[in-house]
Amino acid sequence: MATAQTTALTRFQTLFLGTIGILLFLGIWSGLSLSGLVPKQFLPTPFEILSKFVQLLSTPFAGGTLQEHLLSSVLRFAYGFFLGAAIGIPLGLMIGWYRLLDEIVSPIFDALRFIAPIAWVPFAALWFGTGIGGPILIIFAGAFPPCLINAYRGARFVNRSLIEAAQMLGTSNTRIITEVLLPASTASIVAGLRVSAGLGWQSLIGAELIVASTGVGFMMVQAQLNISTSIVMSAMLAIGLVGLCIDIILRWVEAAVRRRGLA
Protein backbone atom coordinates (compact mmCIF):
# COMPACT_ATOMS: atom_id res chain seq x y z
CA MET A 1 0.00 0.00 0.00
CA ALA A 2 2.80 2.34 0.92
CA THR A 3 4.55 1.52 -2.31
CA ALA A 4 1.46 2.39 -4.36
CA GLN A 5 1.11 5.72 -2.54
CA THR A 6 4.78 6.51 -3.11
CA THR A 7 4.45 5.70 -6.80
CA ALA A 8 1.32 7.89 -7.09
CA LEU A 9 3.07 10.74 -5.26
CA THR A 10 6.08 10.43 -7.54
CA ARG A 11 3.88 10.59 -10.62
CA PHE A 12 2.08 13.61 -9.22
CA GLN A 13 5.36 15.34 -8.52
CA THR A 14 6.57 14.56 -12.02
CA LEU A 15 3.39 15.99 -13.55
CA PHE A 16 3.55 19.04 -11.29
CA LEU A 17 7.19 19.79 -12.12
CA GLY A 18 6.55 19.23 -15.82
CA THR A 19 3.65 21.68 -15.72
CA ILE A 20 5.79 24.23 -13.91
CA GLY A 21 8.47 23.85 -16.58
CA ILE A 22 5.99 24.39 -19.41
CA LEU A 23 4.43 27.43 -17.73
CA LEU A 24 7.87 28.90 -17.07
CA PHE A 25 8.83 28.41 -20.71
CA LEU A 26 5.59 30.02 -21.95
CA GLY A 27 6.03 32.87 -19.48
CA ILE A 28 9.56 33.67 -20.67
CA TRP A 29 8.40 33.40 -24.27
CA SER A 30 5.47 35.77 -23.67
CA GLY A 31 7.66 38.18 -21.72
CA LEU A 32 10.21 38.43 -24.52
CA SER A 33 7.48 38.97 -27.10
CA LEU A 34 5.49 41.54 -25.11
CA SER A 35 8.55 43.43 -23.85
CA GLY A 36 9.64 44.42 -27.33
CA LEU A 37 13.12 42.97 -26.86
CA VAL A 38 12.28 40.71 -29.79
CA PRO A 39 9.98 42.14 -32.50
CA LYS A 40 6.56 40.47 -32.42
CA GLN A 41 6.88 39.95 -36.17
CA PHE A 42 9.62 37.42 -35.44
CA LEU A 43 8.39 36.10 -32.08
CA PRO A 44 4.59 36.17 -31.68
CA THR A 45 3.11 35.33 -28.29
CA PRO A 46 1.90 31.77 -27.58
CA PHE A 47 -1.70 33.02 -27.68
CA GLU A 48 -1.17 34.47 -31.16
CA ILE A 49 0.33 31.17 -32.34
CA LEU A 50 -2.62 29.24 -30.95
CA SER A 51 -5.06 31.71 -32.53
CA LYS A 52 -3.35 31.38 -35.92
CA PHE A 53 -3.30 27.59 -35.56
CA VAL A 54 -7.09 27.54 -35.09
CA GLN A 55 -7.57 29.99 -37.96
CA LEU A 56 -5.53 27.82 -40.34
CA LEU A 57 -7.89 24.91 -39.71
CA SER A 58 -10.58 26.75 -41.67
CA THR A 59 -8.70 29.37 -43.71
CA PRO A 60 -6.65 28.06 -46.64
CA PHE A 61 -3.00 29.03 -46.95
CA ALA A 62 -0.63 27.96 -49.75
CA GLY A 63 -3.38 26.03 -51.46
CA GLY A 64 -5.05 24.32 -48.51
CA THR A 65 -6.06 24.38 -44.88
CA LEU A 66 -3.70 23.12 -42.19
CA GLN A 67 -5.39 19.73 -41.96
CA GLU A 68 -5.23 19.32 -45.75
CA HIS A 69 -1.49 19.99 -45.72
CA LEU A 70 -1.12 17.61 -42.77
CA LEU A 71 -3.05 14.89 -44.59
CA SER A 72 -0.73 15.24 -47.57
CA SER A 73 2.31 14.99 -45.28
CA VAL A 74 0.93 12.00 -43.36
CA LEU A 75 0.19 10.11 -46.60
CA ARG A 76 3.75 10.67 -47.82
CA PHE A 77 5.07 9.57 -44.44
CA ALA A 78 2.91 6.43 -44.47
CA TYR A 79 4.16 5.41 -47.92
CA GLY A 80 7.82 5.91 -47.04
CA PHE A 81 7.56 4.43 -43.55
CA PHE A 82 5.71 1.27 -44.58
CA LEU A 83 8.03 0.81 -47.56
CA GLY A 84 11.02 1.05 -45.23
CA ALA A 85 9.44 -1.46 -42.84
CA ALA A 86 8.33 -3.82 -45.61
CA ILE A 87 11.87 -4.04 -46.98
CA GLY A 88 13.93 -3.48 -43.84
CA ILE A 89 12.31 -6.05 -41.53
CA PRO A 90 12.44 -9.09 -43.86
CA LEU A 91 15.93 -8.15 -45.04
CA GLY A 92 17.13 -7.72 -41.46
CA LEU A 93 15.78 -11.14 -40.50
CA MET A 94 17.35 -12.76 -43.54
CA ILE A 95 20.82 -11.29 -43.07
CA GLY A 96 20.55 -12.24 -39.40
CA TRP A 97 19.99 -15.84 -40.46
CA TYR A 98 22.03 -16.24 -43.65
CA ARG A 99 25.71 -15.55 -42.95
CA LEU A 100 26.56 -15.27 -46.66
CA LEU A 101 23.86 -12.64 -47.19
CA ASP A 102 25.14 -10.80 -44.11
CA GLU A 103 28.64 -10.67 -45.63
CA ILE A 104 27.27 -9.31 -48.91
CA VAL A 105 24.74 -6.75 -47.61
CA SER A 106 26.40 -5.41 -44.45
CA PRO A 107 29.31 -3.55 -46.13
CA ILE A 108 26.94 -1.79 -48.53
CA PHE A 109 24.44 -0.98 -45.79
CA ASP A 110 27.14 0.30 -43.41
CA ALA A 111 28.43 2.60 -46.13
CA LEU A 112 25.00 4.07 -46.85
CA ARG A 113 23.26 4.23 -43.46
CA PHE A 114 25.42 7.09 -42.19
CA ILE A 115 24.31 9.34 -45.04
CA ALA A 116 21.74 11.75 -43.59
CA PRO A 117 18.31 11.40 -45.24
CA ILE A 118 18.33 15.10 -46.15
CA ALA A 119 21.45 14.43 -48.27
CA TRP A 120 19.20 12.51 -50.68
CA VAL A 121 17.17 15.65 -51.43
CA PRO A 122 19.18 16.63 -54.56
CA PHE A 123 18.70 13.14 -56.01
CA ALA A 124 15.02 13.18 -55.10
CA ALA A 125 14.58 16.52 -56.83
CA LEU A 126 16.45 15.35 -59.94
CA TRP A 127 14.68 11.99 -60.18
CA PHE A 128 11.14 12.89 -59.13
CA GLY A 129 10.83 16.69 -59.22
CA THR A 130 8.07 17.87 -56.88
CA GLY A 131 6.09 14.63 -57.22
CA ILE A 132 5.34 12.23 -54.40
CA GLY A 133 8.30 10.01 -55.24
CA GLY A 134 10.91 12.47 -53.94
CA PRO A 135 9.61 12.79 -50.36
CA ILE A 136 8.95 9.03 -50.22
CA LEU A 137 12.59 8.35 -51.15
CA ILE A 138 13.82 10.66 -48.39
CA ILE A 139 11.43 9.21 -45.78
CA PHE A 140 12.52 5.73 -46.82
CA ALA A 141 16.16 6.75 -46.34
CA GLY A 142 15.34 7.74 -42.76
CA ALA A 143 12.97 4.90 -41.89
CA PHE A 144 14.76 1.94 -43.48
CA PRO A 145 17.98 1.66 -41.40
CA PRO A 146 16.35 1.31 -37.91
CA CYS A 147 13.94 -1.33 -39.25
CA LEU A 148 16.76 -3.39 -40.71
CA ILE A 149 19.13 -2.98 -37.76
CA ASN A 150 16.59 -3.94 -35.10
CA ALA A 151 15.27 -6.90 -37.10
CA TYR A 152 18.86 -8.05 -37.62
CA ARG A 153 19.73 -7.72 -33.93
CA GLY A 154 16.53 -9.48 -32.94
CA ALA A 155 17.33 -12.40 -35.24
CA ARG A 156 20.95 -12.64 -34.07
CA PHE A 157 20.03 -12.81 -30.39
CA VAL A 158 17.18 -15.32 -30.62
CA ASN A 159 17.49 -18.17 -28.13
CA ARG A 160 19.56 -20.82 -29.91
CA SER A 161 17.58 -23.64 -28.33
CA LEU A 162 14.48 -22.52 -30.26
CA ILE A 163 16.38 -22.64 -33.53
CA GLU A 164 17.98 -25.97 -32.75
CA ALA A 165 14.62 -27.48 -31.85
CA ALA A 166 13.17 -26.29 -35.16
CA GLN A 167 16.15 -27.69 -37.07
CA MET A 168 15.83 -31.07 -35.33
CA LEU A 169 12.24 -31.23 -36.57
CA GLY A 170 13.43 -30.63 -40.12
CA THR A 171 11.97 -27.14 -40.42
CA SER A 172 13.01 -25.29 -43.58
CA ASN A 173 14.98 -22.04 -43.44
CA THR A 174 11.97 -20.07 -44.66
CA ARG A 175 9.75 -21.43 -41.88
CA ILE A 176 12.47 -20.82 -39.28
CA ILE A 177 12.59 -17.16 -40.33
CA THR A 178 8.81 -16.70 -40.35
CA GLU A 179 7.82 -18.94 -37.44
CA VAL A 180 10.84 -18.71 -35.10
CA LEU A 181 12.94 -15.62 -35.79
CA LEU A 182 10.06 -13.24 -36.53
CA PRO A 183 7.99 -13.96 -33.38
CA ALA A 184 11.08 -14.02 -31.16
CA SER A 185 12.31 -10.71 -32.64
CA THR A 186 8.98 -8.89 -32.41
CA ALA A 187 9.91 -6.73 -29.40
CA SER A 188 13.13 -5.60 -31.05
CA ILE A 189 11.35 -4.96 -34.36
CA VAL A 190 8.64 -2.82 -32.73
CA ALA A 191 11.30 -0.80 -30.89
CA GLY A 192 12.98 -0.25 -34.26
CA LEU A 193 9.69 0.87 -35.80
CA ARG A 194 9.37 3.55 -33.13
CA VAL A 195 12.82 4.94 -33.96
CA SER A 196 12.10 4.54 -37.66
CA ALA A 197 8.85 6.52 -37.42
CA GLY A 198 10.58 9.40 -35.65
CA LEU A 199 13.36 9.62 -38.22
CA GLY A 200 10.92 9.20 -41.09
CA TRP A 201 8.66 12.00 -39.87
CA GLN A 202 11.62 14.35 -39.39
CA SER A 203 12.96 13.42 -42.83
CA LEU A 204 9.58 14.14 -44.41
CA ILE A 205 9.52 17.72 -43.18
CA GLY A 206 13.05 18.30 -44.46
CA ALA A 207 12.01 16.90 -47.84
CA GLU A 208 8.88 19.04 -48.05
CA LEU A 209 10.91 22.18 -47.45
CA ILE A 210 12.59 21.57 -50.79
CA VAL A 211 10.90 19.02 -53.06
CA ALA A 212 7.14 19.31 -52.49
CA SER A 213 4.27 21.50 -53.62
CA THR A 214 1.94 20.56 -50.76
CA GLY A 215 2.37 19.50 -47.14
CA VAL A 216 3.30 21.16 -43.88
CA GLY A 217 6.93 21.70 -44.92
CA PHE A 218 5.82 23.42 -48.12
CA MET A 219 3.41 25.51 -46.07
CA MET A 220 6.30 26.64 -43.84
CA VAL A 221 8.37 27.69 -46.86
CA GLN A 222 5.51 29.79 -48.22
CA ALA A 223 4.97 31.38 -44.80
CA GLN A 224 8.67 32.19 -44.54
CA LEU A 225 8.56 33.89 -47.95
CA ASN A 226 5.63 35.97 -46.69
CA ILE A 227 7.50 36.70 -43.41
CA SER A 228 4.63 35.17 -41.44
CA THR A 229 6.27 33.78 -38.31
CA SER A 230 2.94 32.89 -36.73
CA ILE A 231 2.11 30.52 -39.61
CA VAL A 232 5.60 28.97 -39.51
CA MET A 233 5.27 28.32 -35.78
CA SER A 234 1.70 27.03 -36.16
CA ALA A 235 2.98 24.51 -38.70
CA MET A 236 5.78 23.56 -36.29
CA LEU A 237 3.17 23.00 -33.59
CA ALA A 238 1.17 20.75 -35.93
CA ILE A 239 4.33 18.80 -36.83
CA GLY A 240 5.12 18.26 -33.16
CA LEU A 241 1.59 17.14 -32.29
CA VAL A 242 1.39 14.64 -35.15
CA GLY A 243 4.85 13.30 -34.34
CA LEU A 244 3.83 12.92 -30.69
CA CYS A 245 0.68 11.01 -31.68
CA ILE A 246 2.70 8.64 -33.90
CA ASP A 247 5.16 8.01 -31.07
CA ILE A 248 2.39 7.42 -28.51
CA ILE A 249 0.73 4.85 -30.78
CA LEU A 250 3.99 2.97 -31.35
CA ARG A 251 4.89 3.23 -27.66
CA TRP A 252 1.55 1.63 -26.82
CA VAL A 253 2.19 -1.14 -29.37
CA GLU A 254 5.70 -1.68 -27.96
CA ALA A 255 4.35 -1.92 -24.39
CA ALA A 256 1.63 -4.35 -25.49
CA VAL A 257 4.19 -6.55 -27.25
CA ARG A 258 6.47 -6.58 -24.22
CA ARG A 259 3.57 -7.42 -21.88
CA ARG A 260 2.57 -10.28 -24.15
CA GLY A 261 6.14 -11.50 -24.26
CA LEU A 262 6.33 -11.50 -20.46
CA ALA A 263 2.99 -13.24 -20.07
pLDDT in tens, 115-138: 888 888 888 888 887 678 888 999
3-state helix, strand, coil in the chain (%, to 5): 80, 0, 15
pLDDT(36) > 70: yes
* Count of other CB atoms within 10 angstroms of residue 194: 17
Q: Which residue would you say has higher pLDDT here, 164 or 261?
A: 164
Least confident of 45-49, 60-64, 180-184, 233-237: 180-184
3-state secondary structure of 59: coil
As a whole number of angstroms, the distance between CA 188 and CA 145 comes to: 14
What ranges do the domains of the chain cover? 1-43, 45-262
Give me the mean pLDDT over the 89-97 stretch: 89
Q: Higher confidence at residue 9 or residue 66?
A: 66
Q: What proportion of the chain, given as a percentage, has pLDDT over 90?
A: 36
Assess whether pLDDT exceeds 50 at residue 2.
no
Higher pLDDT, 247 or 169: 247
pLDDT score recorded for residue 4: 46
Q: Could you tell me the fold of the domain covering 45-262?
A: MetI-like fold (1.10.3720)
**Average pLDDT over the chain, rounded to an integer:** 85
Confidence check: pLDDT of 7 > 60: no
How far is CA 9 from each of CA 12, 13, 21, 172, 220, rounded to the nearest angstrom? 5, 6, 18, 54, 42
Is residue 61 classed as helix, strand or coil in its secondary structure?
A: strand
- Give per-residue pLDDT as tens, 200-226: 998 888 888 777 788 898 899 899 888
Residue 55 has pLDDT above 90, yes or no: yes
Please give the backbone phi and psi of residue 186, each rounded to the nearest 5 degrees, phi first.
Answer: -55, -45
DSSP-assigned states of every residue in 116-132:
-GGGGHHHHHHHHTTST
Looking at residue 1, its pLDDT comes to 44
The top-scoring range by mean pLDDT among 4-13, 26-35, 81-90, 131-140 is 81-90
User: Can you say how many angstroms the Cα of residue 221 is from the centroid of all Cα atoms in its chain?
Assistant: 21
**pLDDT value, residue 261:** 59
As a whole number of angstroms, the distance between CA 214 and CA 218 comes to 5
Interacting residues of 144 by C-beta distance below 8 A, sequence separation 6+ = 84, 87, 88, 196
- Note the pLDDT of residue 6: 46
**Are 184 and 200 in contact, with CB atoms under 8 Å apart?**
no
> Which residues contact residue 232 at a Cβ distance below 8 angstroms, ignoring those fewer than 6 apart?
220, 223, 224
CA dihedral 178, 102, 86, 251 (to 10 degrees): 80
- By the 8 A CB rule, do 210 and 218 touch? no
- pLDDT for residue 52: 94
